[in-house]
Amino acid sequence: MQLNQLIDQTWLKPTATREEIIKLCREAKQYQFWSVCVNPVWVKLAKQQGVRACTVIGFPLGSNTTEVKIAESIKALEDKADELDMVINLGWLKDRKNRLIKNEIGLIKKTAGNRIVKVIIETAYLTKEEKVLAAKLAKVSGADFVKTSTGFGPGGATVEDVKLLRGVVGPGFGVKASGGIKTRVQAEALVKAGANRIGSSSGVEICG
């Protein structure tokens, strides 16, 4: 796959306007990006522009209740979202509440059906051991991808983290690198490390 076809062209700013989302969708079509990634309120508009739409669940902290995350997922799917990027409950992870995490991810995947579910683990908050655990939980719970970052945490995607996650989940599972990816050199290094999806608001700059 060409690099452009791995990119979720992303605009998750709280100040995002209708015109900015339409511009994002135009860019996605022009550059043939995989999808646009937008906040839930913009999913319907993005789909009206004729692009694949990814949206976020429990974003950006992951601390919503499971019931709220499921409700968000249902609404996003009603609006025709193609993919859901959900934030893991980081407190549960640090408390080793593995059963609760698996239950939450599993319920959201069940809700999504054949739609792709990515689990954002916000690597910058985690120890190596916690990153490994989070990736294992995402995989055994039925998700399709593990994703490095929201872009709102204290750090973004690194080659080291992508290599680690790919090593944990193996070759048949998705790894999405996101957060702070602004250049083609960065994106290519992350793909070489094992990422098969790139989340960035700089897709045009990366592929232009």
What are the residue numbers of the active site?
Answer: 85, 147, 176
CB 178 within 8 A of CB 156: yes
Distance in angstroms (rounded) separating the CA atoms of residues 190 and 145: 15
Query: Within a 10 A sphere around the Cβ of 183, how many other Cβ atoms?
Result: 12
Query: For tokens 């579910």, what's the residue?
Result: 117
Distances (CA, A) of 50 to 8, 10, 45: 15, 16, 9
Ramachandran bin of 76, using left for φ above 0, alpha for ψ from -120 to 50, beta for the remaining angles? alpha
